[in-house]
Structure formats: structure tokens, C-alpha cells
Amino acid sequence: MVAAGRPFAFTEERRELRRAVRAFLDAASPETEVRRLMETPAGYDPEVWSRLAGELGLVGLVIPEELGGAGASFVELAVVVEEMGRRLLCAPYLSTAVMAAAALLRSGDAAAQKAWLPGIAAGETLATLALAEDAGRWDAAGVTTTARPAGDGWTLTGAKSYVLDGHTADLLLVAARTDEGVSLFAVPAGAQGLVRAPLRTLDQTRRLARVELAGVPATLVGADGAGWPVVEHVLDLAAVALAAEQAGGAAVALDMAVQYAKDRVQFGRPIGSFQAIKHRCADMLLEVESARSAAHYAAWCAAVGDEAELAKAAAIAKAYCSDAYLRVAADTIQVHGGIGFTWEHPAHLYFKRAKADALLFGAPAAWRGRLADRIGL
């Protein structure tokens, strides 16, 4: 773990982690594989997922060792997700290894943790958090799915939308409203009355689903009425992980633009020698480095457990990195000119991921509003 008060730094162990993950993803997630997986029903490769969990131990990275994980900090997780963003990895990592794992850990429910976290860490259980509904809100007021006591358990009625990997998850952690307030419930994939359908999305490298619950039996996770603080913390962590992913994707988009500016010759000169292109690439570099700094600081706050600072840093990182990634991806297409708009060129894959990421968990403006609330404005 990162010691409190210690400046954020990439130790040799973290640099080695980055090198190992990058080498693995360069081989496992080239552009050709990304395009292939975009067309498959599941949207990911089970063999690669198994290797991520077993060979590299990345799925259980922040899960405690006693529950089958590696017991690493959120800084290490940010390193991993940044590399995944570079390669547009098609895998249920954000939903399972970040959101679902964090929700179970934060719930304080020892029985639920023991039941589900070892399977998640081993790569045997895909899991996700079902929060937003058809209105597209990511706040407590947007939770209208209801939970009612039924015998020794509960039943859920309502619908969830924009659920990450919801069509393939073995476990859904569903936010629903009881008489006590928002609570968290575990719903296995085979539950009676559960209907799941994939959504058509702009970004085909990341899958979203709509989930309908018609009197679905569920198990309470944590205390009744204590679900929203858990979910809000998970959203902050998810925003930080997404920001790291966005920083990684933006860096690759910049690299593509710079390389093309060096290689493309016009009027007898590389286009990178033209002032307009120079200035655009310089602006892109500023965006990328600023995004990386925002994401790294937020990850450090999560690692040291400074939740007050995390609440602010997560909002800043999500808002800034969303805008930065989208601007850099769009400018990359502009630098490439006509070829950048074609299906054959990878620039559009990064642009679509950037646009989808900007809206996931709430638009940048919504996170700026959260920041204002959190600092008392």
C-alpha cells in the first residue's frame, strides 16, 4: 500500500508492472483482435480473461489476499487500467475487478465477500453494478427500482440500463429502494424474472445492457438502507479508474497523430513542420499530460484512503480526463485528414471510446456539479 503522506511516485515495482501488462496486452489485444471482439456476442475473449486473472493476477488486484486477491493498492490498479485504455482492451475489467469488487468490499458484508470475491479474483465470476435506469441518472434520486421483503429474502421490481457487461455477468449487484432507502442486492444471473438484453452502443469495444427485474429474488448485501454511501464511493473509484483509462487512450491517440505528422509529406515537407500542426500537437500533449496527472493523483488519494480528498479528486479527474480524451481523439482525426475518418483507420475506435467514456457514470458537467457540491460552492 501507499503510505499516507508519501508523494505519489512510480516505484520500480510499478514500472515493472506497467511493462508486464503492456507486453501482455500488445500481444493479446492488437487492433485486429479488438475489431474481432467488437463483432462477437460476448464482447470479450474468455481465454484472455482467464490469463488476466490467473497468469497475471490482475482481476483480483485490489482484493485482499485472504479473499483470493493480490492485496495491491489503487495505484497499481490505475497503472493496469491505463495500459488497458491504450489497447482498447475488450474485457469486463471495469465492471468486475473495479466496480463489483469495490462494492462488495465497501459493503462490509463478510458473508457476501466470502461468497463472491474469491470467484471474482480467480476470474471465474463476472460481476457488475446495476445502478442507472432509463432516465440515465447516476445519483440516489435516480434509483426507482423497488425491493420488498419476501420470506427470508427480497424481491426486486424495476429496470436498469447502461449496465456494464450486464448481459454476460454472473452476478449483478443491484441498487434498489426499500422503505429504509437505497440498498444493495445480489442477483445471480439465473434468477427467475431476470431479463437481460445488450444495448446498441456507439463504442462497440465496451458492452452495456438493459436489465429488467420482475419480482426477481435477491439477497441483501450490507445493511438495509445503507446502500447509497457504498454506491457513491464505488462511483468515485470507477471514475478514477475510467480517468486512468482515458489518459492511456489519449496518449496513444497523440502518438498516432505525431507519427503521422512526421510521416505525411505535403508540398515537399512533413506536415509536422507546419505551424498549425505543431501547435495542435503541442496542445494535445498538454491535454494528455494534464489528464495523466489528474488520474494519477486521484488514484493516489484512493490508495491512501483519503476519502474527503478522493471525493474531490475523482470529480476533477472524471471531468477533465473526459474532455481531454475527447479533444485529443478528435484532433488526432483532424491531423490525419481524410484517412482519419475511415473505418479502416484505428483513430475512430479511440474517438468512439472517448465519447462513450465521457458520458459513462455521468457527463463532465455533472461531475463538475458534484465537485462544486463537495467543496461547498
What are the tens digits of pLDDT across the range 142-185? 999 999 999 999 999 999 999 999 999 999 999 999 999 999 99
Write down the pLDDT at residue 2.
Answer: 41
DSSP category for residue 133:
-
Whether residue 341 has pLDDT greater than 90: no
Tell me the three cell numbers of residue 241. Answer: 479508474
Q: What percent of the chain has pLDDT over 90?
A: 94
- Res 3: pLDDT: 41
Mean pLDDT, to the nearest integer, of 214-238? 98
Can you give the pTM of this predicted structure? 0.95
Q: How far is CA 212 from the centre of its chain?
A: 23
| Predicted confidence (pLDDT) at residue 5 exceeds the cutoff of 50 | no
Between vectors from CA 324 to CA 280 and to CA 88, what angle results, nearest 5°?
A: 105
Asked if the model's pLDDT at residue 9 lies above 90, the reply is no
Cα distance between residue 112 and residue 106, in whole Å? 11
Calculate ∠ Cα 147-195-159, nearest 5°. Answer: 45
Set out the domains of the chain in order of their start, with CATH numbers.
Answer: 12-121 (1.10.540.10), 127-225 (2.40.110.10), 229-374 (1.20.140.10)
What pLDDT, on the 0 to 100 scale, is given for residue 8? Answer: 61
